[in-house]
Structure 1
Amino acid sequence: MSQKMNPKILIAYYSWAGNTKKIAEQIQSETDGTLFEIIPETAYPKDYNETVQQAKKEIADGFKPALKTKIDDVDSYDIVFIGSPNWWSTNAPPIDTFLADNDLSGKTVVPFCTHGGGGQARTAADVAKKCPNSTVLEGFCVSQNGIEKAKVDVSKWLKKIGVI
């Protein structure tokens, strides 16, 4: 974790159904960090089953979609939260693009995910693999059924990992 007294925090997330966005906003309200939504140039289908099929293929192929949103000042942040839905036991492909496009070396990286029953799976471990020169803290995950009640759990987790 950063030794700064008031570390600058970025909360970067991709959210297909809005669940991950809600957790990102809860983290933001606790940390005063900057929210950054990762948006692919080509949106995923609105239909759940179509998105599942597309994501399954993209993940199997290691596809990294082009992003509509870019962050120019990632170097100015000390702590970077990375949020994603759990898709096929890993992060959504836009997360892989974000991590490939932004060097988080020397930063504290904090993964979080939302899921429909698959738990954290490899989401946090995969972020850690893609950030080998970062300090990766314990991740957080919450089921889509627990999103609305997660505020207390988010706060406990942020205290446990020493961010607040």
Structure 2
Amino acid sequence: MALAFSLAACGNSQNDTTSASVSQEPITSQSAQAAQLPEKDASSSGEDESGSGSKILIAYFTAAENSGIDAVTSASYTTVNGTSVGRVRAVADMIAAETGGELFSIQTSVVYPTDGGELIDYAAGEQDANARPELTRQIENLDQYDAIFIGYPNWWYDMPMVMYSFFEKYDFAGKTIIPFNVHNGSRFSSTIKTIQELEPEATVVEDGFTVSERTVADAAGDVASWLDELGY
């Protein structure tokens, strides 16, 4: 099954202004299981397996972990190694496998629709209202992290509004922010510039990783090569 949302003609440039997408990632019984896979969780102690403080955080937002219901009929997730998981989470897992960083799921009190059309409309409404969805999880001991990978889908040429809540809550001054995202044609749009504006005292890597929602499952090699180029 496959379901993609193209909200205009899909472009391929980083600053594409002729296409938009909502990468819907509804939760399923299997994706709920994936969300519980063993991981180093930044909401806990923040120590790596050797007992030393971890220096890398991988924070990500996926609608799959914020849908609140079991959408077994939806096709808007990806399957990696036989497990269904939200697309942005899938990329986060790939980064974690290469870097040993800790995963942090950005979660909100908002229950996002799992129906494609409803999610598109909801995302547009949040943008129109300049909404700031409430965050329901907190990062513990942010000071211990030097590098912060931050992932999100591209919704209507922008980050989901919960990402604005996230950046307004946390001060990443002196840290390195490394963006990654999942898109349906719009790539990063202008979101990296937006992050730079929201976190002016952080170093924001402009060479982020962006991948089409249709090829997420096969992105592990590209993620590894990208991290190699960045020195991780």
Give the TM-score normalised by the residue count of structure 2.
0.65
Post-superposition shift, 1:154?
Answer: 0.6
Which residue is equivalent to 1:15?
62
Counterpart contact for 1:112–1:124, Cα < 8 Å: no
Which residue is equivalent to 1:3?
none
Pick one of 166, 173, 178 that aligns with 1:98. 166
Q: How many residues align?
A: 158
1:121 maps to 2:194: no
Residue-by-residue CA offset, 1:91-116 (whole Å, 9 max, x unaligned): 11111111111100000000110012
Which residue is equivalent to 1:143?
212
Letter in 2 for 1:120: F
Counterpart contact for 2:54–2:144, Cα < 8 Å: no
Moved over 6 A (4+): none
Counterpart contact for 1:7–1:79, Cα < 8 Å: no
Q: Structure 1: 5+ residue runs without aligned partners?
A: 1-5
Post-superposition shift, 1:69?
Answer: 1.2
Which residue is equivalent to 1:134?
202
Post-superposition shift, 1:73?
Answer: 1.5
Letter in 1 for 2:203: T
Post-superposition shift, 1:7?
Answer: 6.7
Percent identical residues: 37
Instruction: Tell me the distance in 2 between the aligned counterparts of 1:55 and 1:139.
Output: 23
Residue-by-residue CA offset, 1:23-49 (whole Å, 9 max, x unaligned): 001000000000000011122111121
Structure (1 or 2) with the greater helix fraction: 1
Post-superposition shift, 1:58?
Answer: 1.2
RMSD over equivalenced CA pairs, Å? 1.4
Report 1:78-89 matches (<5 A): 78-89=146-157
Letter in 2 for 1:145: R
Instruction: Tell me the distance in 1 between the aligned counterparts of 2:142 and 2:128.
Output: 28
Counterpart contact for 1:13–1:95, Cα < 8 Å: no
Instruction: Tell me the distance in 2 between the aligned counterparts of 1:29 and 1:123.
Output: 25
Post-superposition shift, 1:151?
Answer: 0.6
Post-superposition shift, 1:90?
Answer: 1.2
Instruction: Tell me the distance in 1 between the aligned counterparts of 2:164 and 2:142.
Output: 16
Letter in 2 for 1:25: D
Instruction: Tell me the distance in 2 between the aligned counterparts of 1:50 and 1:74.
Output: 35
Instruction: Tell me the distance in 2 between the aligned counterparts of 1:147 and 1:61.
Output: 31
Post-superposition shift, 1:61?
Answer: 2.6
Counterpart contact for 2:107–2:137, Cα < 8 Å: yes
Structure (1 or 2) with the greater strand fraction: 1
1:69 maps to 2:116: no
Letter in 2 for 1:85: P
Give the TM-score normalised by the residue count of structure 1.
0.91
